[in-house]
Each structure stands twice: as C-alpha cells, then as structure tokens.
C-alpha cells in the first residue's frame, strides 16, 4: 500500500509505498475531469509521466502536464505492478 503522497512542486508528486518498487512496472493516466461534452466526462488534454523516485527505491515520481510545457496538479490514475 501507499505510505505517503507528497507534492514536490507544481504538477509533480512523489508516491512512496510500503515496499521496494524499483523493479516494478508503472502506469499512469490522466484522471477524468468534470468537463462534459454532452455525452459524459472528458479527459482534459494532458501528458502524464511516471518513473522511479531517486530519493527512495520504495517510490515513484508522477508528473502531469497541462500542455505548452506547463505542469498541472490535476489528478492521475496510477498502477504499480510488481
């Protein structure tokens, strides 16, 4: 399980787990926004990146872009498979 989630700067969050996740697979996707197109919720245009957290082998670093090189604190979905 997750031990902590700490915002390191705008649009970047460090997620630390109860175990070493350095040899695991990470997948992150943008979470849906509350925007609607008349048919249902729509994901805002963005990029999500996830990778190892250099401070701890028990963590990953997740960032979400809002376009044009800007970072966003918008939510993401994260899966870590070991």
Give the global pTM: 0.81
Residue with tokens 């989630």: 5
Beta bridge partners of 9: 12
C-alpha 37/C-alpha 23 separation (Å) is: 40
pLDDT greater than 60 at residue 43? no
C-alpha 38/C-alpha 31 separation (Å) is: 18
Give the model confidence (pLDDT) of 46-75 as tens digits: 789 999 999 999 999 999 887 777 888 888
Q: What does the block give as tokens for 43? A: 């994901």
pLDDT greater than 80 at residue 27? yes
C-alpha 54/C-alpha 27 separation (Å) is: 18
């Amino acid at each position: 399980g997750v031990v902590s989630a700490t915002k390191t700067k705008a649009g970047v969050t460090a997620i630390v787990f109860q175990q070493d996740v350095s040899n695991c697979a990470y997948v992150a996707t943008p979470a849906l926004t509350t925007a609607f197109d008349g048919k249902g919720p729509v994901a805002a245009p963005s990029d999500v990146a996830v990778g190892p957290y250099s401070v701890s082998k028990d963590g990953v670093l997740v960032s979400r872009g809002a376009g044009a090189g800007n970072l966003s604190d918008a939510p993401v979905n994260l899966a870590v498979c070991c």
